[in-house]
């Protein structure tokens, strides 16, 4: 078995609203290794998206820890090796975590090319020409190189989501987070987006995916997390989860969706 290289360690993550009256996340502990394709499944309102969004602090957790590359990013500052307090620069960590949203969130006032190069050029100070070259390569990979000068409004949902994925890849992230990437798509467009994601997984990208596509979870995922009511109720390989579900909530959930 290959050596496990932990990239994200989540410990007792909590997200409470209204002083603990609502517990969106209630003590979730999980780890994500390099090259993992972690798929999070569960009924709606179970905290899947909150968990995913917490990973790059779009939601600020109210308790617990997220250790990303040896730094607890949930804290405002940490002690470095010299014992000095250093502020946690969340922008820096977010550059290493690409995120794909349910509603694509492309920038409507920019062309596809501008959408893709803006972050590398402005944040990483990559020269425009280099960024454009890279963008064209990525666009070619998803078969959209001829739409570089189009505006997002001119694209179909599936095309938009493929652009959103490669836009995130432009920052060369270590982890890709997918927040229900196919939920807002017409059924015939789901396949093209899943294909891109499968390709990405086969190249060894570390991915965390929240999805309702059980076929994708079983085929591509190597670790499935089942969440309900803000708790991580069961986790395991696709075989464990889909063939031998233990928890009654999971059995009930699978009987409904499969």
Partner 1 sequence: MLLMSFDFVGDILMDNFVQIENFGRIAPYGELFVQGIVVTVMLSICTVAIGFILAIILSAMRMSNFYPLAFLGLDKDGHQREKGVGVTIGKFNPLAFLATAYVEILRSTPVIVQVAIIYYGVFGALFKLPSFTFFGFIKFERFFPGVVALGMNSGAYLCEIMRSGIQSIDGGQTEAARSLGMSWFQNMRYIILPQAIKNILPAIANEFVVIIKESAITYTIGVQDIMSAVNAVRGATFIIIEPLLVATAIYFCLCFPTSKLIAHFERRMSRGDKR
Structure tokens at 57: 């602090």
Does residue 79 bind partner 1 (CB under 8 A)? no
Of the residues 1, 153, 187, 255, which one makes contact with partner 1 according to CB under 8 A: 153
Query: In whole angstroms, what is the distance from residue 156 CA to residue 193 CA?
Result: 12
Q: Which whole-number Å values give the CA distances from 217 to 86, 154, 156, 198, in the listed order?
A: 39, 31, 24, 10
Does residue 84 bind partner 1 (CB under 8 A)? no
Of the residues 51, 101, 178, 253, which one makes contact with partner 1 according to CB under 8 A: 101
Strand arrangement, sheet containing 6-17? 22-33, 6-17, 63-68, 71-72
As a residue count, the chain comes to 258
Does residue 63 bind partner 1 (CB under 8 A)? yes
Select 107 or 140, whichever has its Cβ closest to partner 1. Answer: 107
Asked if residue 153 lies in contact with residue 108, where contact means CB atoms within 8 angstroms, the answer is: yes
Query: In whole angstroms, what is the distance from residue 100 CA to residue 7 CA?
Result: 19
Q: Least distance in Å: CB of 172 to partner 1?
A: 11
Query: In whole angstroms, what is the distance from residue 126 CA to residue 123 CA?
Result: 8
Place of tokens 């990013």: 73
- Kindly give, in sequence order, each residue whose CB lies less than 8 Å from that of residue 170, ignoring residues fewer than 6 positions away: 116, 117, 119, 120, 131, 134, 135, 138
Does residue 106 bind partner 1 (CB under 8 A)? yes
Q: Least distance in Å: CB of 49 to partner 1?
A: 12
Options 36-44, 70-78, 131-139, 228-236: segment touching partner 1 (CB under 8 A): 70-78
Considering only CA atoms, give the Rg of the chain: 19
Of the residues 84, 109, 125, 256, which one makes contact with partner 1 according to CB under 8 A: 109
Q: Least distance in Å: CB of 43 to partner 1?
A: 23
Select 91 or 188, whichever has its Cβ closest to partner 1. Answer: 91
| Interface mask toward partner 1 for 122-141; x: CB under 8 A | xxx-----------------
Q: For residues 158-217, which are near partner 1 according to CB under 8 A?
A: 164, 167-168, 171, 177
- Kindly give, in sequence order, each residue whose CB lies less than 8 Å from that of residue 255, ignoring residues fewer than 6 positions away: none
Q: Least distance in Å: CB of 123 to partner 1?
A: 5
Q: Please name the helix (run of DSSP H) or strand (run of DSSP E) that holds residue 75, with its range, or none.
A: none
Q: Least distance in Å: CB of 247 to partner 1?
A: 28
Does residue 1 bind partner 1 (CB under 8 A)? no
Options 40-48, 60-68, 194-202, 210-218: segment touching partner 1 (CB under 8 A): 60-68
Query: In whole angstroms, what is the distance from residue 22 CA to residue 34 CA?
Result: 33
**In the complex, which residues of this chain contact partner 1 (CB under 8 A)?**
16, 19-20, 56, 58, 60, 62-63, 74-77, 91-92, 94-95, 97-99, 101, 103, 105-109, 118-119, 122-124, 151, 153-154, 164, 167-168, 171, 177
């Amino acid at each position: 078995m290959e050596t496990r290289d932990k990239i994200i360690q989540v410990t007792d993550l909590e997200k409470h609203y209204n002083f603990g009256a609502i517990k969106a996340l209630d003590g979730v502990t999980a780890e994500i290794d390099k090259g993992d394709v972690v798929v999070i499944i569960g009924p709606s309102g179970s905290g899947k998206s909150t968990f995913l969004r917490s990973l790059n602090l779009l939601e600020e957790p109210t308790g617990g820890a997220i250790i990303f590359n040896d730094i607890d990013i949930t804290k405002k500052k940490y002690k470095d090796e010299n014992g000095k307090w250093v502020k946690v620069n969340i922008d820096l960590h977010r550059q290493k975590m690409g995120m794909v949203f349910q509603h694509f969130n492309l920038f409507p006032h920019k062309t596809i090319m501008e959408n893709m190069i803006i972050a590398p050029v402005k944040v990483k100070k990559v020269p425009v020409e280099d960024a454009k070259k890279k963008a064209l390569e990525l666009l070619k990979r998803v078969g959209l190189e001829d739409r570089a000068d189009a505006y997002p409004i001119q694209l179909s949902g599936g095309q938009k989501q493929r652009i959103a994925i490669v836009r995130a890849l432009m920052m060369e992230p270590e982890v890709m987070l997918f927040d229900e990437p196919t939920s807002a798509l017409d059924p015939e467009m789901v396949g093209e987006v899943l294909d891109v994601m499968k390709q990405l997984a086969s190249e060894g990208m570390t991915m965390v995916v929240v999805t309702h596509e059980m076929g994708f979870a079983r085929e591509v995922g190597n670790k499935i997390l089942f969440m309900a009511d803000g708790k991580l109720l069961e986790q395991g390989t696709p075989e464990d989860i889909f063939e031998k579900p233990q928890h009654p909530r999971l059995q009930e959930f699978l009987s409904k969706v499969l």
